[in-house]
Structure 1
Amino acid sequence: MSYVTIDAYNIGEFSYWFHQTWTTGLQLFLALLIVYYSVGMATIAALVAVVLTVIGSSPLTKSQLIYQTRITQQQDRMLKAITEALANMKVLKLYAWENHFREVIDTIRKEELVSISMVLLHRGCMMMLFWSIPLIVSAVTFWACYLLSIPLDASNVFTFLATLRIVQEPVRLFPDVVTKFIEAKVSLDRIGKFLVAPELQIINLHGKIAYVSQTAWIQTATIRCSLVKDVEMLPNGDLTEIGERGVNLSGGQKQRIQLARALYQDADVYLLDDPFSAVDAHTATSLFNEYVMEALSGKTVLLVTHQVDFLPAFNLILIQSPGMSRVTLFSLYTVIGCTLPLFMFLRALSMVRLGCDASESIFSTLIHSLFRAPMSFYDSTPLGRILSRVSSDLSIIDLELAYKLTISLGSTLNAYTILALLATLAWPVLFIIFPILYLIMVLQRYYFNTAKELMRINGTTKSSVVSHLAESIAGATTIRAFEEEQRFFTKNLVLVDSNASTYFHTFSASQWLIQRLEIPCAIVLSASALAMTLLPLGDSASGLVGMALSYGLSLNVFLIVAVHYQCFTAESIISVERLEQYMHIPSEAPQVIEAARPPANWPSHGQVEICNLKVRYQKNSPLVLRGISCRIEGGDKIGIVGRTGSGKTTLISALFRLVEPTEGRIVIDGIDIATIGLHDLRSHFGIIPQEPTLFCGTVRYNLDPLSRHTDPEIWEVLQKCQLREAILQKEEGLDTSVAEEGSNWSMGQRQLFCLGRALLKRSKVLVLDEATASIDNATDAILQRIIRTEFAECTVITVAHRIPTVMDSTKVLAIADGKLAEYDAPENLMNEEGSLFRQLVQEFWSHSTNN
C-alpha cells in the first residue's frame, strides 16, 4: 500500500524538483560572472567557499540517504501492522487483544520516531548550511577584497550583494532538492524491486474461467444479482449498497452473491472453493441442486468441499492428503556570519523536537481513538480511507510540517526585520510597502481558500485510490480467475487520473501565487532604489545606499519565501485536519471500570440469562434481534440454529458487546455484562470465531500472542488440535512462520489454530460461531469430541449450520427473523410437530439421503 500512497508520489513530485538542480547550477554560474565583473579576482574566494560548502555537505547527504531508506522500511512495517490490526479489529475485540496490538504498533512507532528525528535533524543541518552560504560567501569575498586591495564602493557592493540575493533563493532550495532527490531515489529503488518480483501464476485451463473463493470477496457496490428472498428483505432491492467487505450481509448472503457473480459470467470452467460451508443445510442443498446440477449442468465444475454428501453427483473425485573601518566592518560582518549559523542550528534542533513531539502526540491520539472505536465505525468506514490518513497524511506531519513551519516563521521574521531596517534607511518607501503588503495578504487569502479545498479534494481522491487498491488486492485471485485485470486496472487509472488532476491544479495554484508575488516585490525593490536615489545622503553614505538596496532585495526574497511557506504550512495542516476527523471517534464502553470489576474467577458457573434482548446496528435501522429471552444453566451445551440472516451472529455480538443492546440485558453469573468493562468481559470468555484469522508472525505468537503459556502447554494443545504433526514436519517448530492472513495454512488448519487459542484460555464460557463450517466432517467430529472432553464443565454456546453439531446439545435455541422461535432439548423439539428445529433436521437428512 505504501508503494502507492508514498513512493509513487515521491517519484511524481521529483519531476518538478529535478529542474531545480540544473537551474540552480546555471544561476550560480551566471552569478559568478557578475561577481567577477564586480570584485575581480576575489571571485575565486567566493567560488572556493561555495565548493567547500557543497563538499562539506556530502557526508550529510549520504547519512540522510541511509536514514531515509530506513524510515521507508519502518513506514512499511508500521502500515502493515496497522492494516492487519484494523482489518481484523473484530477479532481483536473478541479476544481482548487490542492493547497488545496497540503496544506492538507503539514499539514500531518508537523506532520510527528515532529515524524521523534523524531525518529532521539532517534537514535542519542542511538548511542551516545552505542558508548560511550568502553570509559566508559575502564575508570571504570582503576579506579577499581587503587583502587584494580591491576597492569597494556603493556600486560594486550593491552589485555583489544583489547578485547574492538573487541566487539566495535557489541556494536555499538546495536542501529541499537534495531531500526530494533522496526520497525519489529510495522510492524508485523500492518500486523497482517490487516490479521485478515474480508474479503469481494460476492453473492453466482452457476456456473461460469463473471462480468462487472459500472466503467471500465482496466489493463496495450494489448487489444486482438473483438472491430473490434476500433481495426482497433489503431496503433497495438489488440496488442496495453493500458496505466494505460485505459488512451488512450475513456469511451465507456473501457466498451466494459470489455464486451469482460467477454464474453471470457464463464461463466454461467453474472453480468452486467450498462455497456451501457458510450456509445452512437447506440452502446448501437448494444451491447445489439449482446451481451446480442445473445451472452448471453443461459446464466443467471443480468443487473443493468438506461436504462429502455432494460427491456422488460428480464424475471424478480427487482426494488430497494433509503446508567601523573596513577591517572593523568586515570583522563585524564575519562575526554575524559565524553567529547566525549557530542560531540556525539551535532552530534546527527546536524543529526536530517540535516535529517529533507533534507527530507522537497526533499518532498516539489517533491510534487510541481507532482502537477504542466501536465496530459500527469499521462497518461504515472503508479501510482505505483510514489507511490513506495513517500513511500519506501522517508522513506529511512526520517529515514536512515542522520543517515548513520553521522556514515559514524564520522567513516571516526576517521579512519584518528587513522591513524595519528599510524603513529606517529609506522611510519614503513605506508609502509603497504598506499597500503592497495589503495586496500580498489579499492574494494569499484568495489563494489559500482555493488551495485548501484542492488539498481536501486531493485527500478524498487519494482515499478512493487506496480503497480501490486495497479491495483489488484482497480479491486478486478472483479478479485473475475471471480475467478482469484490465477492467480493474482501467478503473484504477481513472481514480489515479482524478487524483493527479487535483494534484496538478494544486501545483498550478501554487505557481499562480508565486507569479503574482513577484510583481509587488519588484515594485518594492524599485521604490527602494528610487527612494535611496532621491534622498540627499551625500558621498559619505554611499555604503549606506548599497546596504539599503541590498535590504530591498532581501525583502523581496523573504516576502516570497515567507508567503509561499505560510501557504505550504497551511496546506500541510490540512493533513492534521484529516487525521483529526479520526482522532475523536466516539469510543465504545470503557475497557475497565474499577468500581465494577468482576472476580478473577468470573464466570465460575457459566450461567447466562438473556432478558428481552433487542438489538439494532444503527440508530434508525430496523431491529435485528426483537426481544429474545432465555436462561442457560452453567455447564449447558446450547446449539443456536436458524436460517441464514436470522440473527444468530448478532446474538453472539451482543454477548461480547460488539454491539450494545437497544433494550434488555444479558446477565452472566449474576453480573449484568453492561455494567463491567469490555476488557474484563471479553478476556473472560473463549471464542472460536466464524472467520478463522491468523496474524503475521509465528505459530507460537498466533496461539499465545500475550506470552502467558509455556512451550509444553502449547505443544499439548497442538496435540489435541491435530496440528502437532503438521508443525513437527516444519524445521522451525513453534517458530514456524505464519504469512499474512495465514495464507500458508489451509482454512481448516486456521480454524484448528482458533480452537488451540480457546484450549489455552480455558474459559468457563465458550462460544463457537459457525466454527466448523470450513472443516471436513471427520475433523469436525474430532473438534466436537475435544470440546466435549476439554470443556465438559463449561457452558458451550454453538452457532452451527451442521445439524449433527448441535444434536447432542443440552438445549437448542432456534431463531427466526430475530425472534426466539423455540428453546428446548433437541429430542423434545424433534417430537414437536411444526418445530423449526425439526424442519431444519429433516432438511439436513433429506439433503444427505438424496445425495
Structure 2
Amino acid sequence: MKLESDSAAVVTPFAKAGIFSRMTFWWVNPLMKRGREKNLEDEDIPKLRETDRAENCHLLFLEQLSKQQKSGPSSRPSIRKALILCYWKEIFLTGCFALLNILALCAGPVLLNAFILVAEGKKSFKYEGHVLAISFFFSKSIASISQRQWYFRCRLIGLKVRSLLIAAIYKKQLRLSNSARMVHSGGEIMNYVTVDAYRMGEFPFWFHQIWTTGLQLLIALAIVFHAVRLATIAAVAAIILTVLCSIPLAKLQHKFQSKLIAVQDERLKASSEALVNMKILKLYAWENHFKNVIENLRKVEYRWLSGVQLEKAYHSLLFWIQLHLFPMLLGCSFKRRLHLHALQNSWRLQSCREKYSAKLQRERDSNSISIKSADFTWEDKSSNPTLRNINLEVRAGEKVAICGEVGSGKSTLLSAILGEVPKIQGSIKISGKISYVSQIAWIQNGTIQENILFGSAMDSERYGEILEKCSLVKDLELLPYGDLTEIGERGVNLSGGQKQRLMSDGKILQEGPYHRLLASSKEFQDLVNAHKETAGSERLALLNSSHSDRCGTSSREMRKNYEEKQCKALKLLNSLFHAPMSFYDSTPLGRILSRVSSDLSTIDLDVPFGLIFTVSSTINACSSLLVLAVVTWQVLIVSIPMIFLSVRLQRYYFASAKELMRINATTKSSVANHLAESLAGAMTIRAFQKEDRFFSKSLDLIDTNASPFFHSFAANEWLIQWIEIVSATVLSSAALCMVLLPPRTFSSGFIGMALSYGLSLNNNLVRSIQKQCGIANSIISVERLNQYMHIPSEAPQIIEESRPSTDWPAVGKVEVEDLQVRYRPNTPLVLCGISCTFEGGHKIGIVGRTGSGKTTLIGALFRLVEPAAGKITVDGIDISTIGLHDLRSRLGIIPQDPTLFNGTVRYNLDPLSQYSDQEIWEVIGKSQLQEALQEKGKGLESLVVGDGSNWSVGQRQLFCLGRVLLRRSRILVLDEATASIDNATDMILQKTIRSEFADRTVIIVAHRIPTVMDCNMVLAISDGKLVEYDTPTTLMKREDSLFGQLVKEYWSHSHSTEPH
C-alpha cells in the first residue's frame, strides 16, 4: 500500500472545524459527498490530525510510563493508569457531555408530565402547550448533540488507545529476547494486536456508561418518588434484586471469558505455526493431523464461547429493561480486564539486552571485535552457559571463519556479537557497523529493489556494481519489470539461491565496514569470488492474488444464524489446509492470520447478538411510530416525509460507509502483515539497527488503518444525529397536533401513552440505526471469511477408487515423461519437456545453477505444483491419478529449509505417534542427536520451542534426517539438505543415507558437488531443460558437459578459498 507524505495528503477537516461544524458533524459532508459521487479509494481518505496519530499517542504513552517508573522504580508501571493519565482531559470532557445527555433525557418525563397537566386543562399560561411542544424538540436535540459528542469523542479516545497499544506491542516485539519468544509465539503476539488491542480500543465507549446508568436510575427513582411516593420502594427493591442477581452471573461470565481467551491464544498459536509451515506439512502429508489439532482446539473454544453467549442471552432475557445494562457493563468490565491483563503480560516480556556500544580504545577508523572471558546463555536462568569462557579478538581487515560441529555454538557466537544472546560474565566490545546475512534468508514482501536497498538511499553506480557481483543481472533481465518486480512474502516465489543472493545483495549495499556472514548455501560462498551467469527463474511474477480483499458479495447472502459459526470455522480450516501452494505463495501471511484471528473473533462475538438486537430495535422503533399514528393520525402528515428523508439519509450514508468499512478491513490486514513479516526478520532488523525505519512504517500503517475507521464512526454519528433530529421533529409535531386540535379530542391517558412512545421512538430508532451500521461492519468479516472458504482446492487427499497398494512403491522407479510445469496459467514454462527415468534403488543427483528448476522438479514429484503437460510415473502408477495423501505419505524428503514445531523432541520426530520410543531412540543415535538430547536432560520430552529456535539450524536438519529414517520410504529426496551443516556432519549424513537407504531410490538436489559424485546417475538442468543425464564418470569426460563445468568451478573455488 502506498503511504502518502503529509505534504501530499489532505488532513481531515475535523482538524480545523469550528465549534458548530464539530457539534453538527458538518465537517463530514465533503467526504460523504465524494462517497456519493464515486467509490472511495485509499487516497480519498484524509489523514488524521497530528495529535491523533500513532506516533504522538505512543510518545505520550511512553512519557506516562516513564513518570510511573521514576516515581516508583521498584514497581512495574501500570498500562491502565498510563492510559487514564494520557487522556484524562478528553475523558473529563466526554463525561461532561454524558452528564448533559442524562439531564436532557431526564427532562423528557418532566415535560411529559407538564403536557398531561395541560391536556387536563391545568395550564399555567395561555401558550404553555405550544412552548412544551417546542421544548420537546429542543430537549431531544440537546440530548442528541450531547450523546453524539459523547460517543464520538469516546470512540476517538478508543482509536488513540488502540493505535498506541499496537505501536507499543510492535516496538516491543522488535526487542523481544529469546527466552520471551520461547514463551510467547508469533501467533500470540499477533493475537495481542489483532484482538486484544482492538478490543481495548472499544472499551472507552463503555467507560461513562458505568456511572451514567446509575445516575439515570437515581434521577428516574426521584421522578417516580415525586409521582407515587412510598410505592417507589417496590421499584428500589426490584433494582437491588436485579443487581444482586447480575453479579454472580457476571462473575460466571468472567470465568467463561478467561477460559475463552486462553483457548483462543492456543488456537491462534497452533494456526500460525501451521500456516507459516504449510509447505512442510504438505511434503510430509501431515496437514490433516495439524488441522485436527486446530479443530479440537476450536471445539474447546466453541464450548466456552457458547457459555459466554448463553450468559449474555440470559442477561438480555431476564433483564429486558434499562437494567440489563448492569450485567452487560459488568461483563464488559471483566472482558476489558482480561484483554488488559494480556497486554500487560506482553509489556512485561523481557527484551534483548542493549547493544554493546562500548568502543575499543583504538584509531577512529578501526573495526574490531573484542570478547574477553565471556559466558553467554540463551536462557537467563540457566546454570549451564551455551558458550563458556570465550576469548576472541578480530582486527580490522581480517577475514575470520567460525568452524565447529553441528550444535557446537557457531550461530550462538555470531548472535552474541550481534547482541542477541545475554552475556552473564566477561566483556564484549564492538566497533564499527555490522552487516548480517542470516542462515535462513529473510525476504520482505515488496519489490526486488526495496529488498536490496533495505532502506538505504539509491546509489545507481554502486547498485549496478552489486547486482553484477551477486549474479542477479541475468535474473532481472528475464523479468518484465526487472528489479521493480514484486516478490512474495518470505521470497516464496524465488529459488533458494536467488533468495540468498538477493539477501546478500542488500547487505553488501549497506556499506558496513566489515561483514559477519552466516551463509547457508554455496551460492553465497561464491558471491564475490566468481561471477556466474545464473539462469533466472521465471517463477518470479507480479503478485495479483485472486483472493483480493475487495469483495462485492451481497451482505444479505452472508447473514447465517449463530449455530453456523462452528461450521464456518471448520470450512475455513478445510479450505486453508487444502489450498494449493500457489495460494500461500501469493497471499501475505498477515492477511491469512487476520482472517483466523480478528475476523473469526468478530463473527463469534459481534454478529449473533448484533443481528438479534438489530431486528428487535427496528421492531420497537416501528411499534413506537405506530402507536403515535394510531393516537394522532395527523402526525402521519409529518411522519411520512420524515421516514422518506430518513431512508434517503441512510442510503446516502451507506454509499460512503461501506467503502470506509472495506478500506478499514484491508488496511487492518496490512498492519497484521507487517507485524508477521517483522516477527520473522526481527534479528536481521536489529542487526542493521533498522528498528526505527520498520517502526516508522508500522506507525504509518497504523494511521492508514485508523483514518478510515475514524471517518467511519464520524459518519455514523453524522447519520444518527440527523435521524435523531428527524425523530425529534416527529415527536414535537405530534405534541403540537395535540395542542392545536380541539380540547377533549384525546384523553390525558392516550396523550401520555402516545408521547411516552414518542420519547422512546428516538432511542429505538437510533439503536436500530446503530445496530444496522454495526452489523454491516461485522458482516464484512463474514464476507472476508466466506472469500477464504472458497479457495480453489488442490487435488483430493484420497481417491478411493484409485488407491495404491499398501506396499507401493515397492521398487522406487520414477519415470518422467515430457514434463512441463508453469506456476500460473498464461505464464512461461518453468520446466520445459523433461523426460528421464530414475531406476529403483539408484542414487540420482540433480545439478544445475541457481534458478534452473531443480526444486521445481521435486515440487512436481510431490505435486506441490501440477504439470501443464506430461506426467510422472512411480512404479507404473501415474501420480496424478492417486490422492495427494497417498502420494506424499509414501515419499520421504529432507527439505531445503529445516522446520521444527512447538512441542517435544518426540512430537517433532513422530507427530502422528506411529513409532515406539525404542525406534525413535535408534534413529536419534543414527542422526547424531543423542549427545544434544543428553545435554537437554529430558530425553524425548526435551522442549522444542516455536520454529526450533532453541536448536541450531544443523540440528534441525538432523531432525529431518530422523524423520525419514523413521518413515523409511522407498523413495527419498534430499532438496539441498546439506546446506546448513558442516562438512564432517555432511559426511556422516551421507554415510547414514548410503547405509540405511542402500536399496532405496535416493534423489539428491546437490548443494555440494561431492555429494553426487558417487551417484549412479546425474541429471543436469539449465533454464528448465534437461541438458544431460548420465553417469558422473561419463559426464566428466565430456568437454562441453555442464556437470563437468560445475565440478571444475566447485574445486576451483574450494582451492581459491583455502588458506595459504
TM-score, length of structure 2 as denominator length: 0.68
Cα distance in 1, alignment partners of residues 1043 and 666 from structure 2: 49
Q: What is the correspondence of 1:506-545 to structure 2 with a 5 Å cutoff?
A: 506-532=712-738, 541-545=747-751
**C-alpha contact (below 8 Å) 2:970/2:1001 kept by paired residues:** yes
Paired with 1:6 and 1:91, the residues of 2 have a C-alpha distance of 28
Asked if 1:632 corresponds to 2:877, the answer is no
Does the 8 Å CA contact 2:315/2:324 hold for their aligned counterparts?
A: no
Match of 1:684 in 2: 890
Q: Distance in 2 between matches of 1:392 and 1:572?
A: 11
1:89 aligns with 2:89: no
Map 1:420-569 onto structure 2 (within 5 A). 420-532=626-738, 541-569=747-775
Equivalent in the alignment of 1:233: 478
Q: Equivalent residue for 1:737?
A: 943
Match for residue 19 of structure 1?
208
How far off its partner does 1:356 sit?
Answer: 4.9
- Write the distance in 2 (CA, Å) between the matches of 1:677 and 1:706: 19
1:827-842 superposed matches below 5 A: 827-842=1033-1048
C-alpha distance in 2 between matches for 1:86 and 1:497: 28
Q: What are the superposed Cα offsets for residues 455-511 of structure 1, whole Å, 9 maximum, x if unpaired?
A: 111111110101111111111001111111111111101110111111111111121
For residues 85 and 706 of structure 1, the distance between their equivalents in structure 2, rounded to whole angstroms, comes to 15
CA offset digits 1:624-666 (Å, max 9, x no partner): 1111110111111100001111100000000111001111111
Q: Is the 8 A contact 2:852 2:1023 kept in 1?
A: yes
User: Does the residue aligned with 2:431 lie in a helix, a strand or coil?
Assistant: coil
Letter in 1 for 2:447: T
Q: CA deviation at 1:821?
A: 0.8
The amino acid across from 2:439 in the alignment is Q
Deviates more, 1:666-675 or 1:224-233: 224-233
Residue 433 of structure 2 corresponds to residue 208 of structure 1 = yes
- The answer to whether 1:714 aligns with 2:866 is no
User: Residue deviations 1:48-78, cap 9 Å, x none?
Assistant: 4323322321122222222222222222111
- What does the per-residue CA deviation read over 1:771-816, in whole Å, with 9 as the maximum and x for residues that have no partner? 1111111111111111111111111111012011111101000101
Match of 1:199 among 307, 331, 351: 351
Aligned to 2:1001: 795
SS of aligned partner of 1:600: coil
The 5 A counterparts of 1:536-685 are: 541-685=747-891
Match of 1:413, SS state, is helix
Partner of 1:257: 502
Aligned partner (choices 522, 526, 530) of residue 285 of structure 1:
526
Comparing 519-528 and 693-702, the one that deviates more: 519-528
CA contact (8 A) 1:279 1:644 kept: no
The Cα shift of 1:730 comes to 2.7
Work out whether 1:189 is the aligned partner of 2:189: no
Q: 1:305-344, aligned counterparts within 5 Å?
A: none
Pick from 431, 434, 445 the counterpart of residue 220 of structure 1. Answer: 445
* Counterparts of 2:740 and 2:483, CA distance in 1: 81
| Identity between Structure 1 and Structure 2 (%) | 60
Q: Which residue of 1 aligns with 2:487?
A: 242
Of the structure 1 ranges 22-31 and 438-447, higher mean CA displacement relative to structure 2 is found in 22-31
Report deviation, 1:534.
Answer: 6.1
Letter of the 1:111 partner, please give it.
Answer: V
Aligned to 1:374: 580
Is the Cα contact below 8 Å between 1:695 and 1:740 reproduced in 2? yes
**Residue 835 of structure 2 aligns to a residue in which SS?**
strand
Q: Structure 1 residue 109: deviation in Å?
A: 0.1
How far the C-alpha of 1:830 sits from its partner, in A, is 1.0
CA contact (8 A) 1:130 1:174 kept: no
Q: Return the offset for 1:418.
A: 3.8
Paired residues, what number? 749
Amino acid aligned to 2:480:
P
CA distance in 2, matches of 1:244, 1:354: 34
Q: How far is the alpha carbon of 1:249 from its aligned partner?
A: 1.3
- In the alignment, which residue of structure 2 is the partner of 1:33? 222
The question of whether the paired residues in 2 share the 8 Å contact of 1:605 and 1:634 is answered with: yes
Q: Distance in 2 between matches of 1:102 and 1:379?
A: 20
Distance 1:355 1:120 in 2: 14
Structure 1 residues 127, 284: CA separation in 2 closer, same or farther (over 3 Å shift)?
same
CA contact (8 A) 1:636 1:796 kept: yes
Distance 1:422 1:487 in 2: 61
After TM superposition, give the deviation of residue 114 of structure 1 in Å: 1.0
Structure 1 contact 117–356 (Cα < 8 Å) conserved: no
Contact 1:686 1:763 in 2 (8 A): yes
Q: Report if aligned partners of 2:249, 2:327 keep a CA contact under 8 Å in 1.
A: no
Post-superposition offset of 1:526: 2.5
Query: Given the alignment, which residue of 113, 126, 131 partners 2:315?
Result: 126
Letter in 2 for 1:188: L
Q: 1:248 to 1:824 in 2, by over 3 A?
A: same
What is the match of residue 243 of structure 2? 54
Quote the Cα distance in structure 2 between the aligned partners of 1:356 and 1:743.
Answer: 41
The residue type equivalent to 1:84 in the other structure is E
Distance 1:66 1:403, change over 3 A: same
2:197 matched to which residue of 1?
Answer: 8
Contact conserved, 1:700 with 1:735, CA < 8 A, in 2?
Answer: yes
- Structure 2: gaps of 5 or more residues: 1-189, 354-417, 420-427, 453-466, 533-558
For residue 446 of structure 2, give the secondary structure of its aligned residue in structure 1.
Answer: coil
| Distance in 2 separating the partners of 1:600 and 1:531 | 87
Distance 1:577 1:537, change over 3 A: farther
Equivalent residue for 1:805? 1011
User: In 2, distance between residues paired with 1:287 and 1:679?
Assistant: 43
Whether contact under 8 Å (1:10, 1:180) holds in the other structure is no
Deviation string, structure 1 residues 586-618 (Cα, Å, up to 9, x no partner): 111111111211111111111111011111111
Corresponding position: 1:747 with 2:960: no
Asked whether the 8 Å contact 2:250–2:327 carries over to 1, the reply is no
- Aligned AA for 1:233? L
Distance 1:60 1:766 in 2: 59
Residue 98 in 1 paired to residue 287 in 2?
Answer: yes
719-728 vs 428-437, greater mean Cα deviation: 428-437
- SS of residue paired to 2:606: helix
Which residue of the other structure, out of 1032, 1040, 1050, is the alignment partner of 1:844? Answer: 1050
Question: RMSD of the TM alignment (CA)?
Answer: 2.2
Residues in 2 aligned to 1:232 and 1:703: alpha-carbon distance in whole angstroms: 43
Task: Give the distance between the partners of 2:696 and 2:316, measured in 1 at CA.
Answer: 42
Q: Which moved more, 1:622-631 or 1:122-131?
A: 122-131
Amino acid at match of 2:293: V
TM-score when scaled to structure 1?
Answer: 0.85
Please tell me the residue identity of whatever aligns with 1:683.
Answer: S
SS in 2 for 1:504: helix
User: Residue 208 of structure 2 aligns to a residue in which SS?
Assistant: helix
Give, in angstroms, the shift of residue 676 of structure 1.
Answer: 1.1
Query: What's the offset of the Cα at 1:767?
Result: 0.8
Q: What amino acid maps onto 2:437 in structure 1?
A: V
Per the alignment, residue 157 of structure 1 pairs with none
Q: Is the 8 A contact 2:803 2:883 kept in 1?
A: yes
CA contact (8 A) 2:1020 2:1026 kept: yes
CA distance in 1 between partners of 2:515 and 2:352 (Å): 20
Contact between 2:819 and 2:867, CA under 8 Å: does it hold in 1? yes
In the alignment, the residues of structure 2 paired with residue 130 and residue 451 of structure 1 have an alpha-carbon distance, to the nearest angstrom, of 33
Report the equivalent of 1:341.
none
SS at match of 1:57: helix
Contact 1:251 1:279 in 2 (8 A): no
- Alpha carbons 1:625, 1:651 under 8 Å: kept: yes
Bigger mean CA offset, 414-423 vs 534-543:
534-543
